[in-house]
Chains A and B, each alone.
Chain A
Amino acid sequence: MLQSLLDGLVQTLAWPAFGFLLIGMAIGFTVGILPGLGGAVTLALMLPFTFDMEPTQAFAFLLGMLSVTATTGDMTSVLFGVPGESTSAALVLDGYALSKKGQAGRALGAALFASLLGAVIGAIALVAAIPVVRPLVLSFGSPEFFALIILGLTFVATLGRGKMLRSLAAASFGLLLSTVGMDPQSGIPRFTFGSLQLWDGIGLVAVAIGLFGLPEVIDLASRRGSIAGDVTSKVSDVKEGIKDVIRHRWLLIRASLLGVFIGILPGLGSSVAQWVAYGHAVQTSKDPSRFGKGAIEGVIAPATVNNSKEGGGLVPTVAFGIPGGLTMAILLGAFLIQGIQPGTEMLTTHLDLTMSFVWMIVISNLIAVPLALMAVKPIARITTVRSSLIVPPVLLLLFIGAYSESNTMFSIVVMLAFGLLGMAMVKLDWPRAPLVLGLVLGGLAENYLFLSVSRYDWSWLTRPLVLVIIVVAVSSALVSPVRGIWLRRAAVRTVTAGEPSAKERV
């Protein structure tokens, strides 16, 4: 194993491969910043270029691109409140809030540094997990996935930051929205109102951009100032952000492991991880009320997870030829082009190649993140620019991002509609995250439920792993309200004692 680790490193640093890594990174950097031009689409478009390359070169190129888009996609979320990819939506909540307080530098610094550490820790966890990966993945069947989805849904309570009923209602609405489209069981279109475009469901990217991005832009446009508002134009320190990450190192580690876990299990989708991490950060925080207003943990957790899950996603792709997500599916195409058969040899005889993949992810982050960190200060100055200069280009990015989901104006209509909804929800103080979570998980839940029942009738409810996960889900669902009551009692005590309690972290 150690030998393969070293061989992998050597292969990665070898000249032509390394050069391709850098080119891939450059492309990934540019693409990640643009909303909607997701990692997956670009990966697909770049695939034909790899025909003439050799394996290590091709993968250096592709993985360099992939790991960097995951990192930079977070930047537009923080800077403009517009999700760079659907996987960066969670960062808008607290990251953009920090930008509005003039702390864009800090938020970016934290996001970038967390991404880097997430990638590294994820890589380590990955390498450690390789021996147990096969039995781990294989013990998850449709029933276990269903249980995991339920677990994910229980996070709804935490995502609502205390507005429990509204969270649950929003999540239910999200579940309802997830049923729009062709029913995978019988092929009957549901709630499509005769529109062919809705057959495939309501597009997640358009929803994310509309729900989270549009209200922010509208808000920005209606105040005449800049994103950072009336706060002094001194852009707060990147170093502060880095220190924040170190301060919250345990959260970072937990989030990384979470990301690896979610990445390893194919079939959970790539948008889930950010919300689970965010929910976990809320749940484990001493003062959940800060979230949504600029809690730095709300930046650290999703940023970490977005990177560590890429490493995790490599595992089933390489070990089974089963992609852990959309980007991995395309990577699989690269495997075929290179004539490499994913499977057990990738973990045994070709272990050095697998290790080189891990190194590629780590090294591309090691290079990209410090470079980005150095650029953060000037980049963050955008938040001090007059909004009238910012709004039109950002709007255009929104439109392009939404459009590229389906290459039709329909997605733009969806985006506008959800923008309207998002605005209403922000003004009326209804949490949006549970809605997205319901939308993302609803389809998966229905799918796995039917597969489980169809295959095992009802006996699957007694499978050991299923029971364990359900117990975890139930207890985690109870934690939040219990904590809420406990914290409320504590607050009441301090209020009646006549002093404001938990200090609002600026």
Chain B
Amino acid sequence: MIARRFGALAGVLALLALGACGTNSDSGGGGDAVQEFYDGKTVKLIVATAPGGGFDTYARVIAKHIGEHIPGQPNVIVENMPGAGHMVAMNYMYNQAPKDGTVIGNATGGLALQQLFGSERVQFDMTKFNYLGQPDPAGNTVLVVRRGAPVKRFEELLTPGGPQLVVGVQSPGSLQTDPAVLLKDVLGANIKIVAGYDGSSAIGLAMESGEIDGFVTSWHTELATTRDKFESGEWTTLIQTDKQRDPTIEAIVKDVPSVFEFTKDKTQEDLMFFGAGDPRGLTRIYFVPPNVPADRVTALQAAFDETMKDPEFLADTEKASLLIDPLTGAQVKEGFDSLLNMPADVRDQLKTLIGGES
């Protein structure tokens, strides 16, 4: 037992030191040319955040396993490139990264909105990247409230003269902010937005001390980290952004309506969908630059898909409490295509509501 534990540690260290690739010779598709190309090479996975934190953890676990599934079994290492809310990494991936398939990027797709709203700092085009996929599903965003909040059902926020909910959000443009703004400005909910909390821990503290009544988050994140709070009733959720009511929510909190049960016309639907729905859930995408040779792109996509099914990979993600329910590269691309081609009037309205000042 002791030996096994030390062995595990020593084994991983040795792996690192020797730069050895995986033990399986599972070559997962792609011809000899691809295999020859990757043989003996090192593939860099550029992560758009600093080390530590969920985003980086996903990347490191993927980096640990994906090499085995790429023909030629290259060595895969993680490189962090934080800055400007993932923009630095995105710009790099589009413009400077080598286009030979030796660099994979990992960032949030949330920047697509920046591109949509015409921000000058955007030097990329989300429709042109080659997408490998996303390990977790396009999340369902929910409004979480604490036990002492003055509101028990979302409808109460729509009745005139009804109670007001204080919702804490982070900085504009993030998934933890925009849905709240849209609930308020599109659906007309009586929400007071307190903006500027620096991260989820600041929001957590504000929830604990009662400074705020609620916040917006991805359901899957909460499921992994704060499930017991929902089970005990300390927290509950008032509304979700999926079009169909999510059964995993229903299992814990009964009868949580979807925003689309309150939208009154197509424009409102579009606003809620593009502003807070599925396309916003592309927050953990893996991709390579445009113009990477097609056979290598296919090989990488296949490698990604296979990694998502690899039992050893799944064992690791299980241990790290990382939800795996992947989207394929094609699905990711579809999401961005629809987002970046939304009707012009919806785009303009959205920009006014949540565009901030880009």
Contacts and interface: CB of A to CB of B under 8 A. Distances in A.
Interface of A: 15-16, 19-20, 23, 40-41, 43-45, 47-49, 51-53, 57, 137-142, 182, 184-188, 196-197, 199-200, 266-267, 316, 320-323, 326, 329-330, 333, 336-337, 339, 341, 343, 406-408, 447, 450-451, 454-455
B319 A51 contact: yes
A44 B166 CA distance: 34
B201 to A, nearest CB: 5
A455 B205 CA distance: 15
B83 A406 contact: yes
A20 B10 CA distance: 12
A186 B357 contact: yes
Nearest to A323: B201
Given A40-B52, A320-B205, A51 B84 contact: no
B52 A196 contact: no
Given A267-B205, A447-B196, A321 B358 contact: no
A196 B206 contact: no
A339 B226 CA distance: 11
Contact of A199 (B8, B64, B85): B85
Most buried by A among B87, B201, B211, B212: B201
Nearest to A443: B198
Interface in B1-58: 1-2, 5-6, 8-9, 12, 50-54, 56-57
A53 B316 CA distance: 12
Interface stretch (B74-82, B102-110, B254-262): B74-82
Most buried by A among B6, B205, B228: B205
B228 A343 contact: yes
**Ordered nearest first, which 10 A-B pairs have the shortest CB separation?**
A44-B52, A44-B51, A199-B84, A187-B356, A330-B52, A52-B8, A141-B211, A187-B172, A196-B84, A138-B209
Most buried by A among B5, B196, B206, B208: B196
Contacts of A323: 201
Interface in B195-230: 195-198, 201-202, 204-206, 208-212, 224-228
B116 interface: no
Contacts of B172: 185-187
Given A196-B121, A266-B201, A187 B194 contact: no
A15 B2 contact: yes
B249 interface: no
B95 interface: no
A364 B210 CA distance: 37
Given A47-B57, A186-B357, A199-B87, A406 B208 contact: no
Given A333-B54, A455-B211, A322 B171 contact: no
A196 B205 contact: no
A142 to B, nearest CB: 6
Contact of B83 (A48, A196, A329): A196
Nearest to B197: A451
Interface in B129-184: 166, 171-173
A41 B82 CA distance: 13
Contacts of A343: 228
Contacts, number: 152
A184 B226 contact: no
Contacts of A23: 9
Contacts of B84: 182, 196-197, 199-200
A48 B208 contact: no
A330 B211 CA distance: 25
B91 interface: yes
B97 interface: no
B351 interface: no
Interface string B182-198: 00000000000011111
A20 B8 CA distance: 12
A504 B194 CA distance: 53
Contact of A51 (B206, B209, B316, B357): B316
B204 A322 contact: yes
Contacts of A336: 224-225, 320-321
Given A200-B84, A320-B208, A49 B9 contact: yes
Nearest to A23: B9
B292 interface: no
B253 interface: no
A320 B234 CA distance: 13
Size class of the B contact interface (CB-based, 8 Å): 35 or more
B209 A47 contact: no
Interface in B293-342: 316, 319-321
Given A48-B57, A320-B205, 4 more contacts: A19-B2, A200-B83, A321-B225, A447-B196
B201 A322 contact: yes
A185 B201 contact: no
12 contacts: A16-B5, A48-B60, A51-B316, A138-B209, A186-B172, A199-B85, A200-B84, A267-B202, A333-B57, A336-B320, A408-B81, A408-B88
A47 to B, nearest CB: 7
B61 interface: yes
A126 to B, nearest CB: 19
Nearest to A326: B52
Contacts of B173: 187
A463 to B, nearest CB: 11
Contacts of A187: 171-173, 356-358
Nearest to B205: A322
B11 to A, nearest CB: 9
B196 A185 contact: yes
Contacts of B54: 333
A212 to B, nearest CB: 23
Contacts of A182: 84-85, 171
B309 to A, nearest CB: 19
Contact of B56 (A44, A196, A408): A44
A50 B330 CA distance: 34
B86 to A, nearest CB: 11
A339 B211 contact: no
Contacts of B80: 407
B107 to A, nearest CB: 14
Contacts of A322: 201, 204-205, 208
B1 to A, nearest CB: 7
A41 B196 contact: no
Nearest to B54: A333
Contacts of B205: 137, 266-267, 316, 320, 322
Contacts of B6: 19
A329 B87 contact: no
Contacts of A140: 209
B228 A341 contact: yes
A322 B53 CA distance: 13
Contacts of A408: 81, 83, 88
Contacts of A197: 83-84, 88
Given A41-B51, A141-B209, A182-B171, A451 B196 contact: yes
Contacts of B91: 196
Contacts of A330: 52-53
A390 B136 CA distance: 50
Contacts of B358: 187
A185 B9 contact: no
